[in-house]
A and B are shown apart, each in its own frame.
Chain A
Amino acid sequence: MLFNKRINIEAKTLLFAWILMIFGCEQQQPKEIKLDFALKTHVQLIQEGNTGSARVRLRQYMEAEGESSQPLFLMGLSYHHDKQYAKAVDWFFRAVEANGEVYPHTWHFLGWSHFYLGNIVQSKANFQNHVAWKKDEPDSLFALGLIAMEEGDLPQAERFLHAAIAAAVDDVATQAKAKARLADVLTEDGRWDEAIVLYKDAVQQNPDMYEAWHRFSFALQRIGKVDEASRAAQQCELARRRVRPDLYHSTRFPE
């Protein structure tokens, strides 16, 4: 029984590798699929946080034009924006099942929604799909690094996070957060000095990353640099107040 299961898993792994290889060969230059210009307003509403209005308009759009992957993706994105990930997953899944060409970034957001729901296997599979479509997509590489950390596979996490940093040449925010998480991986091995260099680099690139400031401060504390740790902790507090003022008044629990 166990033997059969192992063979099964190996066969699946081989199949997966084969799929990745084919995509890798075929998709050197992934075909860019742009969002329909008619959906521009809907995207803008979501970005502005007017997700309810966006959903009303998206339903109207689909009544007129029929269901297709892009408006279905945006329905999912609206719930993702609201941190209602179970609903987001439903819509993203409909988007990838819909007739017509899949909007490829759906895999990415489906990966994050599953991640926040604690579905690590589904999350990983969707990020892998996204990377199969575009192998140097930095945020999906970053996510795969996080997932490897959750799986306890630190060498793999290190590889993905290095890949994310390299891929995010023009994306400072992603590069910064990947550096901060790579520093976390190093701390797991007790490599505090190397981690501190990365944390410092990360918060210089993006001073709004209050969680990275916190980890930076703790790493400094660990190696006895108490004054520097205290300064980093102050920066953490300033960044948190700047980025998440909601934490200081009405939010009941962390979301």
Chain B
Amino acid sequence: MKRLLLLVVLLGCEQHQPDESSIVFTKVESVIAPTVCGSCDPTQIIEVNGTGLALIDFDNDNDLDLFVVNASNAPCRLYENIGGESITFIDVTQQVGIDIRAWANGVAVGDVNGDGFDDLYITCHGQNYLLLNHAGTSFEDVTAVWGVGDSRWGTSARFGDLDGDGDLDLYVCNYLEYDFANPPPPATYKKQTVLGGPHGMQPQGDTVYENLGDGSFQEVTQEWGFLLEPSFTLNAAILDFTGDGLQDVFVGNDSMANHLFVNTGETPTRFENRGLQNGIATNGDGSMQATMGIAVADVSGNSRPDIFTTNFSSDTNTLHLNDTSGFFDDRTKRFGLGLLSRPLLGWTCGFHDFDLDGDEDLFVVNGHVYPEATVESMDSAREQPVLLLQRTGARFTQVKQEGLFRDRSAVFGDLDNDGDTDVVVAQRNGEVRVLRNDSPHEHPWIIQLQGAGKNPRGLGAKLLVTFEDGTSATRWNTDGFGFQSSSEPQKHLFAKPITSVEVIWVGGESQRVTHFPPNRSILIAK
């Protein structure tokens, strides 16, 4: 009897690998230097979050360049994409006058002065930096003049038109008080002694800046209703989550309740935290999670942005579906996204149609914060695989990926302009991997948006796409909400012939396009 039961277990075990996937990534060689953030084996919480990446077409030559953040006073670096199928980057940091040597963690990309050239905002432990892009030839540190030198421990930052006046405001996520001279004592996790924090440490409040449109920002955290009890904020997403045409802010807090700051539409601008009432503050069981990564897509097909978040090991990632009634329902299990994430500690994630089969897949990078982590000691290894989940009907199916990493950040974009989404992934204190998407596909239908005035990338716009076969899809023009990272909203790729596109810009103005050119590519300008 015992042998028979064992046989049942073994028979069951054989079936869990998914079928061969059509998603194929190839790592290409590059000159990108490894990231730096403290020591290889971290002993303090300041070291564990690693550093971010950004895709920015800084010189407007129609390809995506790469900005790599480094801590430990190692220089942040800008790499120019010089084109080609092999995706070749060259280091132009010095050439463009960037010299940031700090404990930098994150980066946001946005055109703060609306001159058509994207600028960089770099978050640090200590003063943050705003680097103004002068026509793609040089960057200037304008932090003091523009008044955005928040000096707390910044993690992620986001640009978005929060007050609907046409320019990009700034949300800065701050984590906790950390004093290098007086670090916290060790803590205990699963009966192991590990580095201390965040519990027992003092969380910091976030900072919100209004772009005044005159070459400066003004802090409006309190005036606009963002001043709450401080929390351990790691990430944020700016988008219209409630369907009223106004930009809201979802804030991901480590081990604390998340916030959903809903834009009330009042004058003067005001936001209200409705995270608890709307069901997005915690997972469905009411547990406060870690919330490093945030990804947004219309998973349920109701044209509302659903929210996927990544969390600590021995917990699960969470998918909240955004119901049209304004509530968020935890539907992690239904889509097959729960149990498989328990051994993983997730960071940046992103929904993209990697195989151009018409639905969006999910890419999650992982890696433990504790160097002591092993499966035996913590049910989770220090180095972990990428979790690639292919959307197959109503479920996501894991596509096994080779290699184990200490990943933290990732950015998504068409680096070689071949019509599919490539990925760049950065480990904490380690290699930056350029993953070229070699999935077989036909030439896609491509939509690019061009906003107006001081939001030339059209950040926050919504696309409603109708296909020839009568189906439809919804996408949003965002920076991807990567942990401490920013992917430029350049291209929306679709697998099927398009009959019409409706663009809803921030503020509610809409625009409809019904003619798609034979070359399958269209730029819709506001």
What residues of chain A lie closer than 8 Å to B441, measured between beta carbons? none
The answer, yes or no, to whether B515 is at the interface (CB within 8 Å) is no
The answer, yes or no, to whether A115 is at the interface (CB within 8 Å) is yes
A2 to B334 CA separation, bound complex (whole angstroms):
26
What residues of chain A lie closer than 8 Å to B191, measured between beta carbons? 82, 84
**A64-80: contact bitstring with B at CB < 8 Å (1 yes, 0 no)?**
00000000000000000
The answer, yes or no, to whether B187 is at the interface (CB within 8 Å) is yes
Number of interface residues of A (CB under 8 A): 56
Q: Does B289 lie within 8 Å of A254, measured CB to CB? A: yes
Q: Does B11 lie within 8 Å of A12, measured CB to CB? A: yes
Tell me the nearest residue of chain B to A111, going by C-beta.
Answer: B9
What residues of chain B lie closer than 8 Å to A152, measured between beta carbons? 333-336, 394-395
Q: Does A255 lie within 8 Å of B190, measured CB to CB? A: yes
Interface residues of B in 171-190 (CB under 8 A from A): 187-190
Interface residues of B in 276-291 (CB under 8 A from A): 277, 279, 282, 284-290
Q: Does A96 lie within 8 Å of B331, measured CB to CB? A: no
Given A84-B377, A129-B5, A132-B5: A120 in contact with B395 (beta carbons within 8 A): no
The answer, yes or no, to whether B341 is at the interface (CB within 8 Å) is yes
Q: Does A116 lie within 8 Å of B379, measured CB to CB? A: yes
Main secondary structure, interface of B, reads loop
Main secondary structure, interface of A, reads helix
Most chain A beta-carbon neighbours within 10 Å: one of B2, B199, B329 = B2
The answer, yes or no, to whether B82 is at the interface (CB within 8 Å) is no
Tell me the nearest residue of chain B to A118, going by C-beta.
Answer: B342
Q: Does B12 lie within 8 Å of A122, measured CB to CB? A: yes
Q: Does B314 lie within 8 Å of A255, measured CB to CB? A: yes
Most chain B beta-carbon neighbours within 10 Å: one of A118, A221, A249, A252 = A252
The answer, yes or no, to whether B315 is at the interface (CB within 8 Å) is yes
The answer, yes or no, to whether A197 is at the interface (CB within 8 Å) is no
A107 to B375 CA separation, bound complex (whole angstroms):
21
What residues of chain A lie closer than 8 Å to B335, measured between beta carbons? 152
The answer, yes or no, to whether B471 is at the interface (CB within 8 Å) is no
Interface residues on B, range: 35 or more
The answer, yes or no, to whether A4 is at the interface (CB within 8 Å) is no
Interface residues of A in 71-102 (CB under 8 A from B): 82-87, 96-97, 101-102
Most chain A beta-carbon neighbours within 10 Å: one of B14, B255, B286, B334 = B286
Given A16-B11, A125-B13, A211-B286: A118 in contact with B340 (beta carbons within 8 A): yes
What residues of chain B lie closer than 8 Å to A96, measured between beta carbons? 2, 5-6
Given A96-B5, A107-B5: A215 in contact with B379 (beta carbons within 8 A): no
Pull 28 A–B residue pairs with CB atoms less than 8 Å apart, ordered by A.
Answer: A16-B11, A19-B7, A86-B376, A96-B5, A96-B6, A101-B2, A107-B5, A116-B342, A117-B379, A121-B15, A121-B16, A125-B13, A151-B336, A152-B395, A154-B334, A184-B284, A211-B286, A214-B285, A221-B277, A222-B325, A249-B199, A250-B188, A253-B312, A253-B315, A254-B287, A254-B312, A254-B315, A255-B314
| Extra contacts besides A86-B376, A117-B343 (12): CB < 8 Å | A12-B14, A16-B11, A84-B376, A120-B339, A120-B340, A132-B8, A188-B334, A222-B325, A222-B327, A250-B199, A250-B200, A255-B190
